[in-house]
Chains A and B, each alone.
Chain A
């Protein structure tokens, strides 16, 4: 035995045991790999590549650098130039680029890119490009005569930053920073929308998670303790929303809660509300919270149910027999054992709520919008890079939460069903 442990083991025909084992398992491993390959490709194509592309888009935009080669080259040679007073060569490069843009019809692209950081410059570029081929040196005076805005230091800062396709500008904008004449700085309070909306999104998602938990706990418990025939009937009611179109469900909430809706009509009819004092429960934050809670409730019920179903009733009995009241039993014996379900359901509902789009868009009105509505807004406005930067921040925030969850509760304790 001692000898076998020190010398290398071989098979009966003299091959090393490790090599023999590897050969014997290679075929099985290859087969297993081929089996998961389609799924792997699917995940890669539909998930990893788009996310990678999105992250790239948030850091890259070649709208200006691609259409202004001379100015980009000049910026590269003059790293320490003074944006408050650019020299004649810079203006010359700019004018030649403007002429090129006019020829290649890329003015819009370049202007839009600068417009992201210095709003209102798109028309400046269009006018400049139209006039460029008629301008005579000295170009500095000529351009400034055309429009004094060409001398704005922040415009030159913006053009310098945009002369490289890679930039962190979109993250600066997404964190409510503004490009001023002296560089990036914290924006004015009334313009700070993104971080506030992030904060609001997380707060509302947290509130929805808590409401879902409070509503789902008794339902899941009932599902778990009822006899099979009754619990499957109840289960259908829980799952019914899954089988109905999201749009239909949301519209149903509109029918119920709007100012002339069923709930208000009933309350007025019952004399609880006066006709000119109807509840404003739709097209605002209340509407968003009510409708989203309804949509996300099954995602809380199902993991809770799957955990509660396997908690044997003998634990509660043991606790009672040891002298604990029903309340103590619930608090100290039952709830701790449902924790994996609470954690799974909360994580699921919270993450879904943070990225929810359709319901706030339909019933949120002006103040019920969440961060994903803003991302969508920028996508429709073709500011893909800013949308990507916001989405990347959302992703990062969720990954941080996931990491926290793993540290505090442990991801292996997650029970989804």
Chain B
């Protein structure tokens, strides 16, 4: 990726470590460069260190060790108000005693900007989020979605080159959240700003980002564009955290480049792509996406290994049918079928054969 090169890294974490108690590390040796104009999402379960990283970048937490560079300058000693980074908070943090206009004017006032210029900028920022008519309202008089827009406008009004967002859509309902995802993405593209976005919602991460950094246990588990992350997870944590996944435990029987033959615990053999397994005899966890599982012989590639399966139940979900199968000794193997006109209707108790393309079965570390 072009903006990944060290030359044009806009934000850089170099061996950053963070500890709150001096006993354990919340962030363990973080190295990350974010290109100018990039939309990077930090995704992970709570306690994975993603928010701590954001707070260190914003200047509200200090790194215990390591260096954070902004536009090639170290910023560890720069106080938050001198960093010029826009930030959108989880609960918006709109000042309740100020009107919308005053909220937006505040960052311009503290920068000593003249009244006319301030008014013009406030108006422009409000128009940008289609909230021009709300300039005299108080935050308490606005709905959650409107407050969200104002918070966004306030973070952008002083033209920061970098904007941090800490789970900004967490408090909104599903429909509004999806709409706002689109709007934030659109603003990012039209303004050319760099965005660092923190969320625990993988859907949000996949739809909005240029790259996603998956955090767990204080480390980045994988840093990749959304499609790579979903289709080519590099370890079991990422495979399970992103989307739904079937896991089949087994041992490597044969290893030939990135082609692996895996013997499952129940004795069957399957083909898989080796990702982070190194040698024969190693324990592995094979991961297969439910929508890549096939049960019609015509759809399976030539010579693919198949497994016997018994349908336990079929759940009707509207756009898809979700079948839970008993495969290789496990009762929670999931297969997703598109709900098309001619789709075969499976029923509970039916015996079928399932298979997949070897590229879709990824042999990963056993966690």
Give complex CA distance A332, B107 in Å. Answer: 12
Please indicate the chain B residues that have their CB under 8 angstroms from the CB of A333 in the complex.
Answer: 95
Assess whether A317 is interfacial by the CB under 8 Å rule: yes
Please indicate the chain B residues that have their CB under 8 angstroms from the CB of A339 in the complex.
Answer: 97
Instruction: Give 1 or 0 for each of B86-106: 1 = CB within 8 Å of chain A CB.
Output: 110111011111000000001
Tell whether, in the assembled complex, residue A323 and residue B107 are in contact, meaning their CB atoms are under 8 Å apart. yes
The 8 Å CB contact of B106, one of A312, A314, A322, A337, is A322
Give complex CA distance A73, B40 in Å. Answer: 99
CB distance from A311 to the nearest CB of B (A): 9
Assess whether A315 is interfacial by the CB under 8 Å rule: yes
Give complex CA distance A324, B90 in Å. Answer: 20
Assess whether B290 is interfacial by the CB under 8 Å rule: no
Please indicate the chain A residues that have their CB under 8 angstroms from the CB of B81 in the complex.
Answer: 320-325
The 8 Å CB contact of A336, one of B58, B97, B164, is B97
- CB-based nearest B residue for A317: B60
Known: A312-B91, A328-B110, A332-B106. A321 touches B85 (CB 8 A): yes
Please indicate the chain B residues that have their CB under 8 angstroms from the CB of A322 in the complex.
Answer: 81, 86, 106-107, 110, 154, 158
The total of chain B residues at the interface (CB under 8 A) is 28
Give complex CA distance A276, B290 in Å. Answer: 95
Please indicate the chain B residues that have their CB under 8 angstroms from the CB of A318 in the complex.
Answer: 87, 89, 93-95
CB distance from A335 to the nearest CB of B (A): 10
- CB-based nearest B residue for A322: B107
Tell whether, in the assembled complex, residue A324 and residue B93 are in contact, meaning their CB atoms are under 8 Å apart. no
Please indicate the chain B residues that have their CB under 8 angstroms from the CB of A106 in the complex.
Answer: none
Please indicate the chain B residues that have their CB under 8 angstroms from the CB of A336 in the complex.
Answer: 97
Known: A317-B60, A320-B59, A323-B81. A312 touches B110 (CB 8 A): no
Assess whether B145 is interfacial by the CB under 8 Å rule: no
The residues in B between 49 and 107 inclusive whose CB is less than 8 angstroms from any CB of A are 58-60, 79-87, 89-91, 93-97, 106-107
Assess whether B111 is interfacial by the CB under 8 Å rule: yes
Please indicate the chain B residues that have their CB under 8 angstroms from the CB of A321 in the complex.
Answer: 58-59, 80-81, 83, 85-87, 155, 164
Tell whether, in the assembled complex, residue A314 and residue B158 are in contact, meaning their CB atoms are under 8 Å apart. no
Assess whether A231 is interfacial by the CB under 8 Å rule: no
Assess whether A319 is interfacial by the CB under 8 Å rule: yes
The 8 Å CB contact of B95, one of A315, A323, A325, is A315
Give complex CA distance A48, B35 in Å. Answer: 73
**Size class of the contact patch on chain A:** 10 to 19
Tell whether, in the assembled complex, residue B89 and residue A314 are in contact, meaning their CB atoms are under 8 Å apart. yes
Tell whether, in the assembled complex, residue B97 and residue A312 are in contact, meaning their CB atoms are under 8 Å apart. no
Please indicate the chain A residues that have their CB under 8 angstroms from the CB of B91 in the complex.
Answer: 312, 314
Please indicate the chain B residues that have their CB under 8 angstroms from the CB of A328 in the complex.
Answer: 110
- CB-based nearest A residue for B58: A321
Give complex CA distance A317, B164 in Å. Answer: 13
Give complex CA distance A319, B154 in Å. Answer: 11
Please indicate the chain A residues that have their CB under 8 angstroms from the CB of B158 in the complex.
Answer: 322-323
Give complex CA distance A324, B164 in Å. Answer: 17
Give complex CA distance A215, B90 in Å. Answer: 34
Known: A322-B106, A323-B111, A324-B110. A314 touches B59 (CB 8 A): no
- CB-based nearest A residue for B164: A321
The 8 Å CB contact of A314, one of B84, B93, B110, is B93
Please indicate the chain A residues that have their CB under 8 angstroms from the CB of B164 in the complex.
Answer: 321
Please indicate the chain B residues that have their CB under 8 angstroms from the CB of A314 in the complex.
Answer: 89-91, 93
The residues in B between 260 and 292 inclusive whose CB is less than 8 angstroms from any CB of A are none
Give complex CA distance A318, B154 in Å. Answer: 10
CB distance from B47 to the nearest CB of A (A): 19
CB distance from B366 to the nearest CB of A (A): 41
Please indicate the chain A residues that have their CB under 8 angstroms from the CB of B94 in the complex.
Answer: 318
Provide a sorted-by-A list of 19 A–B residue pairs whose CB atoms are within 8 angstroms.
A312-B93, A314-B90, A317-B93, A318-B93, A318-B94, A319-B95, A320-B80, A321-B59, A321-B155, A322-B106, A322-B110, A323-B84, A323-B111, A324-B110, A325-B110, A332-B106, A333-B95, A336-B97, A337-B97
Given contacts A321-B85, A337-B97, 10 further A-B contacts (CB under 8 A): A315-B95, A317-B80, A317-B87, A320-B80, A323-B82, A323-B84, A323-B158, A324-B106, A324-B107, A325-B81
